[in-house]
Amino acid sequence: MMKRWAISLLMTLVAALAWSSTTVWQPDSIFSPAWQDSIDLKIKNIEAGLDSVQANLDSLKENAVDLELRNRWEHLVFRHGWSINDTSIVYPPTVDFGVKVYRWLNHALNYYDTAYVVNPGRGKKKFKVMLKNSNWLDFYSGHLGKWEAPIQLNSDVTSLFGFHISGMGLSFTYMINARDLLAGRFIHNRRLQFSFTTSRIFIEGYYRKNDQSSVHLHRLGKWMGSELFYGLTREGYGLDAYYIFNHTHYSQAAAYCFSKYQKRSAGSLMTGIYLSHQDVVMDMTLTDQTLLVYLPNKVTDYRFRYRDFGVMIGYGYSWVFHHGWLFNVTAVPSIGYRHSFPNSIDGKRSLLSTNLNGRMALVRTAGNFFYALTFSHEGHWYQSVNHSFYNSYSNLEVTAGFRF
């Protein structure tokens, strides 16, 4: 109310001064009804203008508060296109420390020369999803009883189907025997695998088990032929970690993890450490009884159970023979210490560990899609005074995936 009277008084004085400059002042004229209505209308217009200004100020304030909320780090990290390398985002002290440590590690461990290796796909894709068909074959060969009786076996090809999910350097794969699952039988062969990869370091772990499965016996001593053998079981797990020397130009992940794209041909020496546990059991009483005469010293129970620690050194090379196409060959033999368990065929012993890890890959990259055909071979050679035994795992794998 005071504001209204103040404005009214001010307008009256201004009008009076303007009127007195052009006409003869008449005291009653400024208080005429028409003049008063004009003054009231002007006051209302001014008040409406002030209300509009206040409303605009309130709206700007609300927008500023809303913008501040939307610019908080919790909202920004979930938006499309967010990058952990965005330095404009203000994090709380604890979160900021973790982000800075990750940036430093990412630069130190995951740097590439972009003339050779780049991020694939359209934009920076952080995750991948893949469908896989894995065709698995076990092979066993060696000599029993002071190298007297050669033996050779192999499994049927086990066709596994599964999925693979990966992101931010970590991955998880799970495969099942679809044939046994559809037939309603127990899944005899199982495989679990994970990996961690950067430009400098490649780490891979696995667990494999097959039991109550038949294998083909092709040789035992002087006997040669083909017999189904139900007495073999195998369990193995391990961890490999190696360093890639030419890590700025060569990417192991481009050939086997599909998280990078190799633009030009390059190779690298690599070395690392490994841990492996193998347990292969052969109960020869479950074979044809007529074959038992070929076993040395009538021993029917053979178990090769041991654990390895050692170093590995090898070389990998990627050949980029056409745009979007890559062919890789990697061979990494290893040597180290082997501990044989008390319930193994030779009892508790310290032995020399010799193993072989090799793989090949043919990869096609088309935008965010990729397709690959890979082959891997992993062999463990057991050798003592009385026995030798080579058990290996070979896998031919078909992959189709998408980055997002």
The residue ranking higher by pLDDT, 173 or 383, is 383
Q: Among 258, 396, 250, 404, which residue's Cα sits nearest to residue 324?
A: 258
Give the pLDDT mean for 309-336.
Answer: 96
Name the DSSP letter for residue 156: P
Name the DSSP letter for residue 157: P
Provide the pLDDT for residue 104. Answer: 79
Provide the pLDDT for residue 121. Answer: 60
β-strand pairing of 158-167 with 170-177: antiparallel
Give the pLDDT mean for 273-279.
Answer: 96
Give the pLDDT mean for 307-319.
Answer: 96
Q: Is the torsion defined by CA of 252, 257, 260, 264 positive or negative? A: positive
Name the DSSP letter for residue 170: E
Residue-by-residue DSSP string for 195-240: EEE-SSEEEEEEEEEE-S--EEEEEETTEEEEEEE--EEEEEEEEE
Provide the pLDDT for residue 4. Answer: 54
The residue ranking higher by pLDDT, 172 or 403, is 403
Could you report the per-residue pLDDT of 50-107, keeping only the tens digit for each? 667 666 666 666 555 444 544 566 666 666 566 677 777 777 888 778 888 877 777 7
The residue ranking higher by pLDDT, 102 or 35, is 102
178: its two tokens: 């679809």
| H-helix or E-strand spanning residue 307 | strand 301-322
Provide the pLDDT for residue 24. Answer: 45
Give the pLDDT mean for 111-130.
Answer: 81
Name the DSSP letter for residue 79: S
Q: Among 403, 395, 404, which residue's Cα sits nearest to residue 373?
A: 395
The residue ranking higher by pLDDT, 262 or 297, is 262
Name the DSSP letter for residue 286: G
- Whole-angstrom distance, CA of residue 129 vs CA of residue 163: 7
pLDDT band (50, 70, 90) for residue 108: confident
The residue ranking higher by pLDDT, 37 or 222, is 222
Arithmetic mean of pLDDT over the chain? 82
Give the percent of the chain with pLDDT over 70.
74
Length of the chain measured in residues? 404
Q: What Cα–Cα distance (Å) separates residue 73 from each residue in 70, 85, 144, 402?
A: 8, 13, 66, 29
Give the pLDDT mean for 103-124.
Answer: 79
| H-helix or E-strand spanning residue 60 | helix 33-70
- Whole-angstrom distance, CA of residue 208 vs CA of residue 236: 5
Give the percent of the chain with pLDDT over 90.
45
Cα-based angle 388, 389, 395 (whole degrees, multiple of 5): 155
Q: In terms of C-beta distances under 8 Å and separation of at least 24 residues, what long-range contacts does 79-85 make, across chains too?
A: 81/123, 83/124
Cα-based angle 175, 180, 184 (whole degrees, multiple of 5): 125
Could you report the per-residue pLDDT of 183-224, keeping only the tens digit for each? 555 556 677 777 788 889 989 999 988 876 789 999 999 999
State the alpha helices, DSSP H only, in 296-371.
none
Domain edges within the chain: 2-70, 73-109, 123-403
Give the pLDDT mean for 19-41.
Answer: 56
- Whole-angstrom distance, CA of residue 217 vs CA of residue 215: 6
Give the pLDDT mean for 32-40.
Answer: 65
Could you report the per-residue pLDDT of 349-361, keeping only the tens digit for each? 999 999 999 999 9
Judge: domain 123-403, CATH 3.30.720: no
Predicted confidence (pLDDT) at residue 40 exceeds the cutoff of 60: yes
Predicted confidence (pLDDT) at residue 171 exceeds the cutoff of 50: yes
Q: Is the torsion defined by CA of 69, 71, 77, 79 positive or negative? A: positive
Residue 208 burial (CB count, 10 A): 21
> Which amino acid is located at 261 in the chain?
Y
Give the pLDDT mean for 325-332.
Answer: 97
Q: Is the torsion defined by CA of 149, 234, 398, 315 positive or negative? A: negative
- Whole-angstrom distance, CA of residue 194 vs CA of residue 180: 24
Predicted confidence (pLDDT) at residue 253 exceeds the cutoff of 80: yes
286: its two tokens: 């479950």
Give the pLDDT mean for 293-311.
Answer: 93
Provide the pLDDT for residue 403. Answer: 85
Provide the pLDDT for residue 46. Answer: 72
The residue ranking higher by pLDDT, 101 or 372, is 372
Provide the pLDDT for residue 258. Answer: 86
Contacts of 237 (CB under 8 A, 6+ apart): 205, 206, 207, 208, 276, 277
Contact 161, 136 (CB under 8 A): no
Provide the pLDDT for residue 63. Answer: 57
